[in-house]
Copies of this chain bind each other. A is one copy, B any other.
Amino acid sequence: MTPADDPLIALREALRAFAAERDWQPFHTPKNLAMAMAGECGEVLEHFQWLTAEQSAALPAEVRAEVALELADVLLYLVRLADVLEVDLAAAARRKLALNAERYPVEAARGRAAKYDRL
């Protein structure tokens, strides 16, 4: 695959160009981007806050489309934040997944979601 086929790299490059064309780099400090990402997560929460677990898993199509765009917002800010921090997001995710596998061995974790359980 070429880098352009990797969606995280393609997004990173598109967002860099997007910010550069608009002279938005001064606004894109890690601190500001972390806030913007958290704000978008808040919008995701608002979609789900009054729903039951069952309702949250059976969204009407138009709500699902709205939520998809909110998830996209989180991803865009996340990719941009990783970029300005010079963090390789895909590598960090693989590292975290490996840590989680150690932290939650299959046998011990099966069916339990204790307070600090994670993915």
Contacts and interface: CB of A to CB of B under 8 A. Distances in A.
- Number of copies of this protein chain within its complex: 4
Contact of A48 (B34, B63, B68): B34
A50 to B, nearest CB: 4
> Interface on chain A toward B: helix, strand, loop, or mixed SS?
helix
B101 A87 contact: no
Size category of the binding interface on chain A: 35 or more
A85 B60 CA distance: 11
Contacts of A99: 69
Contacts of A76: 93, 96-97, 100, 119
Contacts of A106: 21-22
Interface string A1-20: 11001111001001100110
